[in-house]
Amino acid sequence: MHPLIQEHIPLKLYTTFGIGGVARYFAEANSIEHFLELYSWGITNRQKIFVLGMGSNVVFPDEGYDGLVIRYTAKRFTFQQNIAVVETALSLSALILEAEKINLGGMERLFGIPGSVGGAIYNNAGAHGTEISKFVESALVFEVPREVELDTMRLLDPSNLTIPKPKIVDPGYFKFGYRNSLLHSNRAIVLSTTLKLKERSGEEIKKVREDIAFWRREKQPVGKSAGSFFKNPSLNMSAGYLLDQVGAKGMQEGGIMVSDKHANFLLNTGKGTFTDLMKLSERLAHLVEEKFQVKLEREVEFVQ
């Protein structure tokens, strides 16, 4: 077994919801090289593989994950004029703060969005009229081999099973949409990225960032959650408003409840389970569809 791999690790420790059973195998990869080694081990040993970042938009089931969870933790970064070169486990807010120090901005309206740079690209994270897709210049991605490709390699040469090398892609590769990208379907992993920032006064950046942080403190609850749970159905219709109209605030299922402060925030009160979360989210979506004929879509990924 690879020396970085541990067994039977509680996944609730690695998600902001604090929910989930144990992983059969678990490892942290603090470099691209370690990531590729661990992924290769998982493939060679016929394990299901899930790649985890900061766990801010992911929930694992109560029974855990019967496979290998690789937590990608590589977070080195550098700036070259107005270009940030970033390993994608770096938190989005940390990057914004580092850029501010050298008078580079543009992304400050995204400050406070939980999660990593990689997670932000995966979901095309956005807030206050800004999306991360506006800044992506290129990325190094690892494309997950399809099962049919693996079966062919095993059949032809089982002693020499190889995984594809990461490749550099341009922004068009991602097919960015509202809280969406190609990564949702092809499951490719963004290992590093280059982001084009804007030269601005550090004081100007700080003022916007602090205004955004104040807005978040005023409008959004704190606690074990994944931030906004459902996507907004459209630019002119918020999920929070629809949920408010069906009386969602304060609703509870087991240890999961809807925040009294914001109807699109589901909170783990301490003993919430995946089952509780699934039941409550399904009930909320049903109420909204029944009243408004609008189908809500989760932002949060349920790992099966």
Query: Over the stretch 183-197, which tens digit does the pLDDT of each residue have?
Result: 999 999 999 999 999
* 299 counts as catalytic: yes
- Quick one: average pLDDT of 261-288? 97
Question: What's the DSSP call for residue 194?
Answer: E
pLDDT for res 234:
87
pLDDT per residue as tens digits for the range 49-93: 999 999 999 999 999 999 999 999 999 999 999 999 999 999 999
Beta-ladder partners of 244: none
pLDDT for res 191:
98
At the top level of CATH, the class of 6-74 is alpha beta
Domains of the chain by residue range: 6-74, 77-144+150-206, 222-302
Q: Are 50 and 72 in contact (CB under 8 A)?
A: no
Distance CA 27, CA 11 (A): 11
CATH for 222-302, options being 3.40.640.10, 3.40.50.300, 3.90.1150.10, 3.90.78.10: 3.90.78.10
* 143 counts as catalytic: no
pLDDT tier, 158 (very low <50, low <70, confident <90, very high otherwise): low
pLDDT per residue as tens digits for the range 99-151: 999 999 999 999 999 899 999 999 999 999 999 999 999 999 999 887 767 76
Sheet of 256-258: strands edge to edge? 252-253, 256-258, 266-268
pLDDT per residue as tens digits for the range 50-59: 999 999 999 9
pLDDT at 204 over 70: yes
Which among 179, 192, 253, 259 is annotated as catalytic?
A: 179
pLDDT tier, 160 (very low <50, low <70, confident <90, very high otherwise): low
* 179 counts as catalytic: yes
pLDDT at 285 over 90: yes
Distance CA 83, CA 185 (A): 28
Model pTM?
Answer: 0.92
Beta-ladder partners of 83: 80, 196
Determine what percent of the chain is predicted with pLDDT higher than 70. Answer: 97
Instruction: Indicate the average pLDDT of the chain.
Output: 94
Distance CA 249, CA 21 (A): 28
The one-letter amino acid code at 40 reads S
pLDDT tier, 157 (very low <50, low <70, confident <90, very high otherwise): low
Which among 228, 253, 259, 281 is annotated as catalytic?
A: 228
CATH for 77-144+150-206, options being 3.30.465.10, 3.40.50.2000, 3.20.20.30, 2.40.440.10: 3.30.465.10
pLDDT for res 164:
86
Which among 28, 37, 253, 299 is annotated as catalytic?
A: 299
